[in-house]
Amino acid sequence: MTGSVAQPIPLHERHFSALALRLYAECPLRFRRRYVDGLAIPGLPDDPEERRAMLQGERFHLMARRYYSGLEPGTLGAPADRAELEDWMQKLVRYLPRRPGYAYYPELELRLSEPALRLVARFDLVVVAPDGEATIYDWKTLRHMPPRAKLEAAFQTTVYRYVLCAAGGAYAPGGAFDPDRVSMVYWNPLRGGREERLPYSAARFREDGRRLRQLVAQILATPPDGFPPTGDPRLCARCEYRQLCHGPLADRPLPEPGDGWPEAALEPGQEVPVEDEEPAGAFDADPDGLAGLPLP
């Protein structure tokens, strides 16, 4: 295990991402190691197929960003990888072609900086219609998509929709987005292209604000020695800090994913990770991660 220690941003100055909130809810000790101790352990998955899937997802995100920036998507990777990526892009362009009069904001990052709530979100794509209706798009290249209920409850969904409405006024034709006219869409190019559209609402916006403030206040009130480890060994098995907590023997083969993984590896009621990445610079060198637990 190799890593580096960076000077972390003090928690009271940090803009919390969906990933950070999920890590705190899932394992406070993992949150502390990353965001309080500043310990970064980068790297790709050991499994070649997992590594290839991760790289293909990154390439697809880059090609989609180029397309919605008005550029040619280009081709990336080895010939076999290019064929798959070109197929995904063809499906994406058929699904969501650029339309005159619509505004497209790929890889848009927004920060909310209120005294009691500092959040950051980086969207794969935000599309604003001429009448002000806004849709957040997030590209997923998972072989098995989480069910709709878990996508609805995920921190990524909560944070992204809330931040767009609370901090995205500069991109709204009328100066502010109406939560009742905001949706979040998870789209997956596999199996012909799958969409999960999650509409927002003013009532949900108010409730999300209350719950997010409550959670952030709890984090900020936690002393350095108040971040306990999770009691779930399956979470430890996929954690980059497992050797720090359990010693070298913890670096053992991970559980084999079953049909429908990650759902198959979880107990009933345990949530599926959803979020793919954290904004660049949010950790001073934060590695990407996953986030999917609902708010408490």
Residue 208's domain spans which residues?
A: 101-220
Kindly state the tokens that stand for 273.
């990770």
Number of domains in the chain: 1
Q: Looking at the domain assignment, is residue 228 inside a domain?
A: no
Q: Looking at the domain assignment, is residue 71 inside a domain?
A: no
Q: Looking at the domain assignment, is residue 205 inside a domain?
A: yes
CB atoms within 10 A of CB 164: 28
d(CA 104, CA 90): 18
User: For residue 157, which of 272, 43, 60 has the smallest C-alpha distance?
Assistant: 272
d(CA 210, CA 117): 10
Q: What pLDDT score does 86 carry?
A: 94
pLDDT digits (tens, 9 = 90+) for 7-19: 788 999 999 999 9
Q: Looking at the domain assignment, is residue 131 inside a domain?
A: yes
CATH code at position 130: 3.40.1350
Residue 210 CA, distance from chain mean position:
21
Cα-based distances in Å from 254 to 2, 203, 233: 19, 41, 11
- Sheet bearing 103-114, strands edge to edge: 103-114, 117-128, 134-139, 182-188, 194-199
Q: Looking at the domain assignment, is residue 47 inside a domain?
A: no
Cα-based distances in Å from 17 to 47, 121, 139, 264, 283: 27, 6, 18, 27, 10
Q: What pLDDT score does 91 carry?
A: 95
Among the residue ranges 29-38, 74-83, 155-164, 246-255, the one predicted with the least confidence is 246-255
CB 122 within 8 Å of CB 18: no
pLDDT digits (tens, 9 = 90+) for 84-114: 999 999 999 999 999 999 999 999 999 999 9
